[in-house]
């Protein structure tokens, strides 16, 4: 059974204070690892797909990396508008996405 | 702008009622999914469909059924609503083939009283 564990559950940063979110996974036959952003009361919004260990993707202040056992979402010099819940998910041989419970990020001035 | 549209943002239903949650996508996606999201439990897959008239059970199908009569529409049915089905329900769609990101709807917050 595919499993995804995200840490920390919640993270509070000051504006400009860089940090990383962790996503550890176990999956049979990784087809893709996905990061989503979810704002309160809304559906998740797709950010990145990573397919193989060593791959990196960037978008504005966000950078996602992947190893054989975990993925990191690095947030560089965050702003208050980056406050959201960040979800990690994996797709294995079953072709379905299994989600973690998310990291709730709050960025304060 | 491509979209997954869920018919209701908020619903309040009584215990024992039959509840229909509707989802429509305009991207010609083959795959559609229903999740529920609860604090501390994350997103859990209820049902999914890879094609019209096809359906597969997810991880928590008990108490739910689905219907997919047209490619663009995927309905979730609560046969007899119970208070433990109070949750945020999210519909998503995706293309077949290489793994791609799901596109999610805005969600339906269902309260069963």
Q: Please, what are the averages of pLDDT over each run of 10 residues along chain B (113 residues)?
A: 87 97 94 94 93 92 96 97 97 80 93 98
Q: Comparing C-alpha atoms, which of A107, A100, A109 is closest to residue A44?
A: A100
Measured between CB atoms, does B110 come within 8 Å of chain A?
A: no
Nearest chain A residue to B92 by CA distance is A43
Measured between CB atoms, does B97 come within 8 Å of chain A?
A: no
pLDDT interval class at A29 (50, 70, 90): confident
Kindly tell me if the per-residue pLDDT of A35 is higher than 70: yes
Instruction: Check residue B89 and give left, alpha or beta (phi > 0: left; psi -120 to 50: alpha).
Output: beta
For residue A82, which phi and psi values (nearest 5 degrees)? -85, -5
Q: Give the model's pLDDT for residue A92.
A: 83
CB pair distance less than 8 Å for A101 and B109: no
Distance CA B82, CA A51 (A): 40
CB pair distance less than 8 Å for A42 and B43: no
Measured between CB atoms, does B111 come within 8 Å of chain A?
A: no
Please report, for residues A97, B68, B107, the alpha-carbon distance to residue B51 in angstroms, rounded to integers and kept in the order given. Answer: 17, 8, 22
Distance CA A2, CA B102 (A): 18
pLDDT digits (tens, 9 = 90+) for B17-34: 999 999 999 989 999 999
Q: Give the model's pLDDT for residue A50.
A: 95
Q: Give the model's pLDDT for residue B17.
A: 97
Q: Give the model's pLDDT for residue A26.
A: 94
Q: Which two tokens stand for residue B109?
A: 């917050």
Measured between CB atoms, does B41 come within 8 Å of chain A?
A: yes
Distance CA B110, CA B90 (A): 11
Kindly tell me if the per-residue pLDDT of A33 is higher than 70: yes
pLDDT digits (tens, 9 = 90+) for A46-82: 999 999 999 999 999 999 999 999 999 999 999 999 9
Distance CA A23, CA A25 (A): 6
Q: Give the model's pLDDT for residue B1.
A: 65
From the number of C-beta atoms within 10 Å of its C-beta (0-12, 13-18, 19+), residue B30 rates as middle
CB pair distance less than 8 Å for A101 and B41: yes
Instruction: Check residue B84 and give left, alpha or beta (phi > 0: left; psi -120 to 50: alpha).
Output: alpha
Nearest chain B residue to A85 by CA distance is B42
- Which chain B residues are closer than 8 Å to A101 by Cβ? 40-42
């Amino acid at each position: 059974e595919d499993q995804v564990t995200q840490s920390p559950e919640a993270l509070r940063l000051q504006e400009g204070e860089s940090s990383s979110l962790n996503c550890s996974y176990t999956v049979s036959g990784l087809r893709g690892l996905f990061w989503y952003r979810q704002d309160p009361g809304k559906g998740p919004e797709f950010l990145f797909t990573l397919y193989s260990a060593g791959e990196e993707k960037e978008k504005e202040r966000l950078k996602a990396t992947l190893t054989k056992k975990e993925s990191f979402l690095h947030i560089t010099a965050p702003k208050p508008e980056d406050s959201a819940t960040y979800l990690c998910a994996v797709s294995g041989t079953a072709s379905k996405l299994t989600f973690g419970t998310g990291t709730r990020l709050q960025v304060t001035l | 702008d491509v979209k997954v549209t869920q018919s209701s943002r908020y619903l309040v239903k009584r215990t024992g009622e039959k509840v229909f949650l509707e989802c429509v996508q305009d991207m010609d996606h083959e795959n559609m999914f229903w999740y529920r999201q609860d604090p501390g439990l994350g997103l859990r897959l209820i049902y999914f469909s890879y094609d019209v008239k096809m359906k597969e059970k997810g991880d928590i199908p008990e108490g739910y059924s689905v219907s997919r009569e047209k490619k663009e529409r995927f309905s979730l049915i609560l046969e007899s609503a119970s208070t433990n089905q109070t949750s945020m329900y999210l519909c998503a769609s995706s293309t077949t083939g290489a793994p791609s990101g799901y596109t999610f709807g805005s969600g339906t917050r269902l309260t069963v009283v």
